[in-house]
């Protein structure tokens, strides 16, 4: 009998080691206990969290109508921005981040930009970050894939099980962190799930409110989508523009009001309005000059997520137009080349001079 047991024991152990319980053990690397700064968010679905996003996050500088941020993405991420929106263009075979046109504002290469994202994420392993790429020149996903691989962020990019997911179908922040797939990237056009599954089609997964708003109403109507807005995640474009010769430009003078947590035209009011109208909070809130308001945008997100906003260090200090461009960021800035920088006062002056010439000519006639 003993000899039989001696024979049986190794066999039984072998079978036990082959069970799912035993084989699964080596794959449990870690379990996130704090996610995006809060333990309470670890068990929340990605589709049930409100993130603050930087509109045209690469367009950094002062005294320039083509810029939307004062600090570069390294500082943005440090302060709490968790969605980075950008415009991608093809310039001589290289993907560049440009505002409308690379001749107007060139924020550098996508590869350099992604390198900064990777640096932050490597140093902050409990953070989930989203990218929103406006694919201005309809570049193929394979071109982005090449750049993502060169920057080393493809291996940390999340690929969903299908091309589109309802807001309720996304994994939790904790599971994204545990898996190491913490970078969630949306592409506005040409996304191909079969070719590059981690470049996720934006408008089948997210709907947006209108942009280039020049009044303070900031409504919550569906402006762009390719899916069912009742089940998709959604994004509010909360940045105020003003019209200059019929062209919308950032209204930086009102940034403190626009980014505030309450009041007419505030981020807080739009979030509250949209939550009431749609029965759920927005997933993403895109803002300009994020540091204006002294952290109010992060307070709005914290309130929406049911957590406490208590930063360990103050966020960056607002920079008013008229300051030196060399002081705009702590570190490197993706500022436009000097020959493309246009101060708002200069543009107004030039526009006024043009009107004087026109009216003078009419008087002569």
Consecutive 10-residue runs of the chain (365 residues): their mean pLDDT? Answer: 46 44 46 96 98 98 94 98 98 96 96 98 98 98 98 98 98 98 98 98 98 95 98 98 93 97 98 98 98 98 97 94 52 34 43 41 39
In the block, tokens 């000097």 appear at: 338
Task: Kindly state the tokens that stand for 14.
Answer: 């072998």
What is residue 321's predicted lDDT score, i.e. its pLDDT? 84
Note whether 141 and 191 are within 8 A (CB).
yes
Contacts of 299 (CB under 8 A, 6+ apart): 261, 268, 309
What is residue 29's predicted lDDT score, i.e. its pLDDT? 59
Task: Name the DSSP class of 103.
Answer: T
Task: Kindly state the tokens that stand for 104.
Answer: 């107007």
What is residue 210's predicted lDDT score, i.e. its pLDDT? 97
Q: Would you please indicate which residues are annotated as catalytic (active-site) residues? A: 55, 99
∠ Cα 55 57 60 (to 5°): 115
Note whether 113 and 67 are within 8 A (CB).
no
List the one residue out of 148, 147, 159, 157 whose CA is nearest residue 194.
159
SS3 string, 84-147, reads EEEEEEEECCEEEEECCCCCCCEEEEHHHHHHHHHHHHHHCCCCCEEEEEEECCCCCHHHHHHH
Note whether 131 and 117 are within 8 A (CB).
yes
Pairing label, strands 94-98, 106-109:
antiparallel
Residue ranges and CATH numbers for the domains of the chain are 37-336 (3.20.20.190)
CA 168 to CA 170: how far, in whole Å?
Answer: 6
Task: Kindly state the tokens that stand for 354.
Answer: 């043009």
pTM for the full model? Answer: 0.83
């Amino acid at each position: 009998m003993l000899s039989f047991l001696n024979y049986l024991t190794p066999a039984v152990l072998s079978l036990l080691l082959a069970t799912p319980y035993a084989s699964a053990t080596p794959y449990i690397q870690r379990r996130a206990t704090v996610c995006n700064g809060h333990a309470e968010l670890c068990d929340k679905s990605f589709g049930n969290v409100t993130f603050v996003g930087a509109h045209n996050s690469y367009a950094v500088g002062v005294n320039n109508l083509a810029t939307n941020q004062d600090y570069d993405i390294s500082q943005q991420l440090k302060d709490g921005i968790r969605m980075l929106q950008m415009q991608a263009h093809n310039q001589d075979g290289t993907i560049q981040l440009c505002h409308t046109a690379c001749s107007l504002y060139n924020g550098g290469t996508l590869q350099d930009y992604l390198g900064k994202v990777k640096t932050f994420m490597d140093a902050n392993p409990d953070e989930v970050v989203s990218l929103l790429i406006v694919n201005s020149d309809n570049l193929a996903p394979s071109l982005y894939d090449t750049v993502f691989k060169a920057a080393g962020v493809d291996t940390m990019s999340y690929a969903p099980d299908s091309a589109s997911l309802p807001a309720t179908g996304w994994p939790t922040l904790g599971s994204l962190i545990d898996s190491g797939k913490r970078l969630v990237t949306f592409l506005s056009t040409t996304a191909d799930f079969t070719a590059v599954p981690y470049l996720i089609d934006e408008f089948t997964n997210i709907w947006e409110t209108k942009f280039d708003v020049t009044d303070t109403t900031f409504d919550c109507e569906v402006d762009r989508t390719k899916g069912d807005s009742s089940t998709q995640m959604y994004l509010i474009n909360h940045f105020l523009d003003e019209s200059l010769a019929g062209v919308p430009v950032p209204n930086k003078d009102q940034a403190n009001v626009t980014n505030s947590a309450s009041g007419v035209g505030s981020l807080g009011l739009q979030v509250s309005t949209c939550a009431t109208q749609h029965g759920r909070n927005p997933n993403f809130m895109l803002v300009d000059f994020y540091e204006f308001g002294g952290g109010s945008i992060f307070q709005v997100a914290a309130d929406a997520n049911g957590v406490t906003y208590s930063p360990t260090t103050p966020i960056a200090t607002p920079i008013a137009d008229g300051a030196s461009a060399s002081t705009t960021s702590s570190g490197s800035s993706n500022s436009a080349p000097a020959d493309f920088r246009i101060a708002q006062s200069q543009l107004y002056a030039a526009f006024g001079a043009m009107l004087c010439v026109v009216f003078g000519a009419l008087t002569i006639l």
